[in-house]
Amino acid sequence: MTLGKSKTLIVQYTPRNERSSTKKILDAFIGEVKNSDIEKLDLAKDVPNFFLEKNLDAYIHRNYLGETLSAEQKNSMAKMDRMTEQLKSADIVVVAYPMNNFSMPAAVKAWFDSVMLKGQTWDVKNSGYVGLMNGKKALTLVSAGAIYAQEPMASMEHALSLTNLEFKFMGYSDVRGILADGMNADESVKLSNLEKSVKQAKSIAQEWYLQK
C-alpha cells in the first residue's frame, strides 16, 4: 500500500450491464470499499488493442531491445502504455468478467496482453522471471454458466485459473478469485451460488479495506 489513500482499479467486462451476474458480485465488492479512490475501466467500451504488426514491433524494439521509439511507434503503443500506467497506479485491482468458451473474453485477454509489458509489470533478472507488482492485491470475479466443482468440468476451467496465474506472474502479493459457477443451472443453484459469491466478495473487501 502507498502512504495515504489507496487506489482501487476496477477492470470490468460486463456488457449485459444490469442483467449481468458478474456485475452483481462486483457491485457487492464495490459497496464495501472504504477509504480508497475507485477508478473504473470498462473493457466493453474502452476496448484494448491487440498486438498487431506495428505495436508488436514497437514493443519488442522498446521493451526487449531498449531502443528509443519514433513518434509513430510511440503512438502505436499509446493505449497499452496508458492501461499499464493505470494498473501500476493502483494498490488493488479487481477484474470482473463472465467465462467465455472456457476462458476469459477476448477483451479481457487483450487487457492482460496490454499491461503485461516487460520492464513495467514483470521483468527478467539473472535469467529468471520477476514480478514487479509486489505489495499489491488482485481479485478476479468470474461468473460461468456450467459447474466446475468436479471432473470432467474442473479441468476445463481456464478463466479464473489463468487470471490468477497472470497476477502471480506480475508479482501481486495477494491474489484472490471467486468463481460464481452454475449461472445457467437450475434457478435454485444459480441463486445459491450467486449469493455465496456475493458474500465472498463482501468478505474480501471487508478484510482488505479495514487493513491499514
Ligand X SMILES: Cc1cc2nc3c(=O)[nH]c(=O)nc-3n(C[C@H](O)[C@H](O)[C@H](O)COP(=O)(O)O)c2cc1C
Q: What are the residues binding ligand X (CB under 6 A)?
A: 14, 16, 20-23, 98-102, 143-146, 183-184
C-alpha–C-alpha distance, residues 181 and 192, integer Å: 10
Residue 59's Cβ-side half-sphere holds a number of Cα atoms within 13 Å equal to 23
Quote the strand ranges of the chain, DSSP E: 6-12, 36-42, 92-98, 122-125, 128-131, 137-143, 174-180
Kindly state the smallest distance separating residue 120's Cβ from ligand X, in Å. 29
Is residue 131 within 8 A of residue 122, CB to CB? The reply is yes
Q: Look up residue 16 and give its three cell numbers.
A: 449485459
Kindly state the smallest distance separating residue 209's Cβ from ligand X, in Å. 24
Kindly state the smallest distance separating residue 160's Cβ from ligand X, in Å. 11
**24 or 136: whose CB is closer to ligand X?**
24
**21 or 120: whose CB is closer to ligand X?**
21
Q: Look up residue 76 and give its three cell numbers.
A: 502505436
Kindly state the smallest distance separating residue 27's Cβ from ligand X, in Å. 11
Kindly state the smallest distance separating residue 32's Cβ from ligand X, in Å. 19
**117 or 159: whose CB is closer to ligand X?**
159
**29 or 122: whose CB is closer to ligand X?**
29
**24 or 176: whose CB is closer to ligand X?**
24
C-alpha–C-alpha distance, residues 211 and 77, integer Å: 36
